[in-house]
Amino acid sequence: MITAAIIIFIAIVLVVAVVAIRGRREYAKREIRTSFGPEYDRVRSEYGGTRAADRELTRRNQMHSRLRLEPISANDRDFYASSWEHIRGGFLDDPVVALSSAEQLIARLLEARGYPVDDRGEQLALLSVQHGRAMADYRQALWVSERMRTDPASMPTEVKREALMQYQTLFEDLLTGPGAVVPRGIMQSEATP
């Protein structure tokens, strides 16, 4: 009788442990999916399903944790903010140059922060870990910039303006980490070039 009770007790403990472990795994997956925002749907589509996407997002998190990301000093923030204002100010005169300059400034900022610069795909993957919500905009802006290099006349001014604002989304994310003060002149309300 005591042996049967012990066996039942052990079985119940094992079932509870298995349910708890599965629940914890599912919670961790939901947390990862939520943290990547819209980027999760893109990865799921690109990798052909939820499991493959979860593996890729876990890989990205692990690789990102190995990066040695550097904070941006106050002086550098001011430099980047004033450079951004200069780019925005030149948009009306030459949108092609403004978009190219925005792409280059962000590339410079990414390098200063410590993101890899030699592999664009991996750079985008690692950026998505902390900036998942800005990635769709950034990818769209990169696409517009690439298209403008091959056929500048094919893009209406409104699309070019939108691309500059999409670059600004990631730029602000990179420049203003959690708890940082937003530098002068890059507030979202001033986003219109």
Q: What is the pLDDT of residues 8-60, one digit of tens each?
A: 888 888 888 877 777 776 766 666 666 777 788 888 888 998 889 888 998 99
Do residues 82 and 58 both lie within one domain?
no
Predicted local distance difference test score (pLDDT) of residue 122: 93
Predicted local distance difference test score (pLDDT) of residue 86: 96
Do residues 168 and 87 both lie within one domain?
yes
The boundaries of the domain holding residue 165 are 74-190
Q: Report the distance separating Cα 126 and Cα 115, nearest Å.
A: 8
Element at 79 (helix H, strand E): helix 74-89
Torsion (CA) 104, 108, 109, 110 in degrees, nearest 10: 100
Across the chain, what does the average pLDDT equal?
84
Do residues 94 and 130 both lie within one domain?
yes
- Look at residue 80 and tell me whether its pLDDT is greater than 90: yes
Where do we find the tokens 């696409």? 143
Hey, what amino acid is at 71?
P
Do residues 101 and 169 both lie within one domain?
yes
Where do we find the tokens 């052990």? 10
Do residues 165 and 82 both lie within one domain?
yes
Predicted local distance difference test score (pLDDT) of residue 37: 76
Do residues 182 and 96 both lie within one domain?
yes
- Look at residue 119 and tell me whether its pLDDT is greater than 60: yes
> pTM for this structure?
0.74
- Look at residue 188 and tell me whether its pLDDT is greater than 60: no
Do residues 40 and 131 both lie within one domain?
no
Do residues 21 and 100 both lie within one domain?
no
Q: Is pLDDT larger for residue 193 or for residue 66? A: 66
**Residue that terminates a domain, selected from 66, 84, 99:** 66
What is the average pLDDT across 115-119?
Answer: 90
Hey, what amino acid is at 150?
T
Q: What is the pLDDT of residues 90-114, one digit of tens each?
A: 999 999 999 999 999 999 999 999 9
Q: pLDDT tier at 182 (50, 70, 90 boundaries)?
A: very low
- Look at residue 165 and tell me whether its pLDDT is greater than 90: yes
**Residue that terminates a domain, selected from 27, 43, 66:** 66
